[in-house]
Structures are given as C-alpha cells and as structure tokens.
Amino acid sequence: MRPLEPISAGRRLALGILFFVLFFAAWALATLGGFVPKIFLADPLTMVRDGARLLTDFGFAADILITIWRVVGGFVLAALVAVPLGILMGAYKPIEAFFEPFISFARYLPASAFVPLLILWAGLGETQKLLVIFIGSVFQIVLMVAVNVGQTRRDLVEAAYTLGAGDYGIVRRVLIPMNAPEIAEILRLVLGWAWTYVIVAELIGSSAGIGHMIIDSQALMATGQIIFGILVIGLIGLVSDYLFKRLNQTLFPWRLA
C-alpha cells in the first residue's frame, strides 16, 4: 500500500464485499453467541425470517413503494424549484444577494422539526410527507448549485463572449453545460439526505411506509423487523446511487474522456 496508488477493479470489489462479510460475521457472533440479549438486537437469521414474513404476510412491499414514491416526489419537486433558482443565483449576483442570506438561514432549519407544523397545515396526507422532503432538500440544492455555477471558469465565459455569445447565451451555452455534471452530483448527494427526512416524516402520524413499519415494530419489540427496514433503506440507497452514477456517466461522457 502506497499513498494514492490505484488498485485493480477486482481487488476493489473483493475488499468492498469483505467488509460486508466481516460485518455480518461480527453481528452473528454477537447475537447468536449470546453476547447481546435478543430483545435489544435480533440475530441475522431472525432478521431474515422477520423480513420474509413482512413481505409475504404484511404487504411490506407496498410500504416500500409508498416510501420510494414520497422520496422521489418530494425530491423532484425540490429539484424543479432549486436547480433553476440556483443557476440564476450563481449567474446573477443581485439575485444571489437577494436570496442568499435567507436561504443560508433556512438551510439550518431542521426539516424534522417542521413535521408537527406541517401536520397542522397540511394534515396527515401525502402533501405533508412531500413537504418535509421538499423543505429538507430545496435549500441545500439551491445553495450548492449557486456556489458551483458562481465558480465557473472565467476564461471560458470570456472566450464565449469573444465568440459572440450574449448574456443569455453565456447562461445557456456555458454555465449550464459546464456545471451540469456537478449539479447531477449535488442531486445525488441530496437524494441520499432525502431518505433520512422521509423516515422522520413517516415516524409520526403515518399509516404506511417503511418508517411507519419501524415505529410499529418498536411497540412489538420486533428488532428483527426494525433492522430489516433499515437494511432495505440502505439497499435502495445503494441501488439508486449506482443508477444515478451510471446515468451521469452516460449523460456526461466528456468528463470521463
């Protein structure tokens, strides 16, 4: 091992899998070996059995789908508002000066703390769930996109001006295509955070969803089910992250060249 020395794809995969193997081994040892009482932490076998039962007997697949729909819905709404606003703020300094102080403040408002208020305003329906995710994501995306666009290489902008681009052309033909890969990366990052907001939103006043299942299981002391729910979220995160990465690679081949 030397600093920054690359490794082969095969070894990378093997090492990544090795961690999971060791993790499950340690977990199995702690629980099946009797070091941790069953009511605090279920063993892997119980977890798998509970999980299977959730899927077959309790319609957990529908819960998973509704949670995915909430995350994606709230996140897409946030992106539709935040990306254009962020681009405008990055490109035009007066617009940035107008919004930036408020958004920097709003960014630190914890989305989870809004849950009780949003229930008052929007009831217990889907609107409330989407709003939690929207509030949690929108300010983060705006600020990161604005910073990114604002840091566009000046010499590229100047080159475009000398080629006859106008102000609108600079935004459309330089700022947006130049920053599109980073914007996609920002969306990937924030989508990960949106998953934490959705669970919080579902823990309170919800009748469906992964978070709802988790809170129900707590009442039953069913730690196997809770862990299964958490693992499902992790797996979905892993898959969506991978898909997002592949999409970015196909959309922006020039980054890989």
Contact status: 249 vs other proteins (CB under 8 A) = no
Q: Of 58, 193, 244, 252, which lies in the binding site for other proteins, with binding defined by CB under 8 A?
A: 252
Q: Of 27, 161, 193, 244, which lies in the binding site for other proteins, with binding defined by CB under 8 A?
A: 161
| Cβ-based neighbours of 193, under 8 Å, separated by 6 or more | 136, 137, 140
Contact segment (CB under 8 A) with other proteins among 60-68, 70-78, 167-175, 202-210 equals: 167-175
| Cβ-based neighbours of 180, under 8 Å, separated by 6 or more | 251, 252
Nearer to other proteins, 73 or 169 (CB): 169
Interior/surface letters 10-26, b for 16+ CB within 10 angstroms, e for the rest: eeeeeeeeeeeeeeeee
Distance spanning both ends of the chain, measured CA to CA: 27
- Considering only CA atoms, which of 232, 235, 239 is closest in space to residue 210? 232
Shortest separation between residue 255's beta carbon and other proteins, angstroms = 8
Q: Of 62, 65, 159, 235, which lies in the binding site for other proteins, with binding defined by CB under 8 A?
A: 159
Shortest separation between residue 184's beta carbon and other proteins, angstroms = 13
Q: Of 1, 4, 120, 163, which lies in the binding site for other proteins, with binding defined by CB under 8 A?
A: 163
Nearer to other proteins, 12 or 255 (CB): 255
Q: Of 72, 165, 189, 204, which lies in the binding site for other proteins, with binding defined by CB under 8 A?
A: 165
- Considering only CA atoms, which of 95, 96, 129, 92 is closest in space to residue 114? 129
Shortest separation between residue 152's beta carbon and other proteins, angstroms = 11
Contact status: 185 vs other proteins (CB under 8 A) = no
Contact status: 250 vs other proteins (CB under 8 A) = no
Contact 90, 143 (CB under 8 A): no
Distance CA 235, CA 255 (A): 27
Contact 138, 194 (CB under 8 A): no
- Considering only CA atoms, which of 71, 104, 95, 92 is closest in space to residue 197? 71
Contact status: 9 vs other proteins (CB under 8 A) = no
Contact segment (CB under 8 A) with other proteins among 82-90, 121-129, 173-181, 233-241 equals: 173-181
Q: Of 15, 26, 97, 156, which lies in the binding site for other proteins, with binding defined by CB under 8 A?
A: 156
For other proteins, the binding residues (CB under 8 A) are 155-156, 158-165, 169, 173-174, 177-178, 180, 252-254, 257
